[in-house]
A and B are shown apart, each in its own frame.
Chain A
């Protein structure tokens, strides 16, 4: 387990359940701005946010979340984690955050110094996920030791240049879960359900539901 936990950071207050607020652009934007400013102060780095790219990140994320939303309520908790991974995928795809300086306070061998923008976006997704999970399921997800291992961050940055879906697997890895690297952007519960629907019918003609 990492020494750092996503619940170390406080998100922008809201009167609504977080799962609702995070899907309102006005809250999402204000929360991300506040978060980036706080982490920036902590690591000694100034950031600039491109509002248009941030809105594009938000819209693509909303659409991606709606597309795979499971009807099965028992998959809800897993889907929260998957949705956080989708959010990171959209952040790394649109790159709405830009560091204006090199972090002056962060340790040279830390993820924050290595890739400040990726570090802030990842931590934001993890923090939103942790807060929503705590609120909805009374559970606090911990960060795995992978979070402190610079090799994972290096691999993350390298791999998303070729395939942005890697972000989803990376976030699952940081939460201590084994990602499905072959299809990281397909929600596993849905995939499992589809596989189990196919298996009993092997050898017989496909039946439409």
Chain B
């Protein structure tokens, strides 16, 4: 018989597979749209391109709804109102709880950065959190190590669709920093959304500092940035 934890891991893997499929379908749909536009193609090819695009969109929608149905399934983790790094670290199977919050937070950050189109791996985030072996009193240094581990686990892959608010090279460091900064902030349930938004804007404002520290994998500099801004989200 499957334990609740292994069931949750199974759901996580299945959800990741569906999201991967959705990602590929969206990218191919966009490519067809961009390169094989029906108004520039001659008649038979234009018809084929339109059919391919329609089918690809329909399939993407079906995969979308399957993935979100799975998203709503209980993952067997404690229902946290205020997700925080410290609580995940002190929780049995905290990697799962972390990956759920990380995925949701990252999607919001990418949207606010106008950097949608990148693939966010919840599964790799879960693995990276376990790998990081966070202490229960996770501090700025542990948070800095975590974002390097997340990067090395390839939690963010692909390129943003359109022109983002920051240079492409800064999207990953700023996104990871913003999410982990948000997860360390002291906030109430009603302030959660505003806190994430503030973490994003602070990260954009210090994006050059984040990029510099991230590029050289300087955990001390990243920890100093976390220490500087944790109380100001």
User: Knowing A52-B165, A62-B232 touch, does A25 contact B191 (C-beta < 8 A)?
Assistant: no
List residues of B (153-199) whose CB comes within 8 Å of A's CBs.
165, 187, 191, 194-195, 197-198
Dominant SS among interface residues on chain A: helix
What residues of chain A have their CB less than 8 Å away from a CB belonging to chain B? Answer: 23-26, 29-30, 51-52, 54-56, 58-60, 62, 66
A26 with B205: CB separation less than 8 A: no
B194 with A59: CB separation less than 8 A: no
A30 with B194: CB separation less than 8 A: yes
What residues of chain B have their CB less than 8 Å away from a CB belonging to chain A? Answer: 165, 187, 191, 194-195, 197-198, 201-202, 204-206, 228, 231-233
Closest to A63 in B: B228
Closest to B192 in A: A26
Query: How far does the alpha carbon of A103 sit from the alpha carbon of B223 in the complex, in Å?
Result: 46
User: Knowing A30-B194, A59-B206 touch, does A24 contact B233 (C-beta < 8 A)?
Assistant: yes
B205 with A24: CB separation less than 8 A: no
Q: Tell which of B197, B198, B206, B228 touches A24, judged by Cβ atoms closer than 8 Å.
A: B198
Please name 24 pairs of A and B residues whose Cβ atoms are closer than 8 Å in the assembled complex, sorted by A. A23-B231, A23-B232, A24-B232, A25-B198, A25-B202, A25-B233, A26-B187, A26-B191, A26-B197, A29-B198, A29-B201, A30-B194, A51-B201, A55-B198, A55-B201, A55-B204, A55-B205, A56-B205, A58-B205, A59-B202, A59-B205, A59-B206, A60-B205, A62-B232
Closest to A60 in B: B205
Q: Tell which of A30, A52, A62, A66 touches B201, judged by Cβ atoms closer than 8 Å.
A: A52
